Amino acid sequence: MNRTITDATVKRFHCDSHDHLRTHLANFIAPYTFARRLKTLDRLTPCEYTCKIWTSDPDRFIPNPIHQVPGPNT
């Protein structure tokens, strides 16, 4: 995923500011997440795959309280 984003954004377009890059990333990630069907996800979009896993095993999506504790870099 990181290579896909890098190839589609940073390597193809010049962004003058961080805000311009954020806007461009948002415009790329939204269709990728909701429209592109991926072979590694059994031809489902990432959103469809997440919903499928969530309905079959919702316990995987309960946040772990340990992950909510602020670390030394926050």
Higher pLDDT, 73 or 25: 25
Global confidence as pTM: 0.54
Distance, in Å, from the CA atom of 18 to the CA atom of 50, rounded to the nearest integer, reads 29
Within a domain: residue 71?
Answer: no
Written as six digits, the tokens of 49 are 């795959």
Q: List strand residue ranges (DSSP E) for the chain, in order.
A: none
pLDDT at 43: 92
Residues spanned by the domain of 40: 2-61
Within a domain: residue 26?
Answer: yes
Within a domain: residue 49?
Answer: yes
Within a domain: residue 74?
Answer: no
Give tens-digit pLDDT for 3-52.
877 777 777 777 788 898 888 888 888 887 778 888 888 999 888 888 89
What's the structural domain count of the chain?
1
pLDDT at 69: 63
Within a domain: residue 27?
Answer: yes
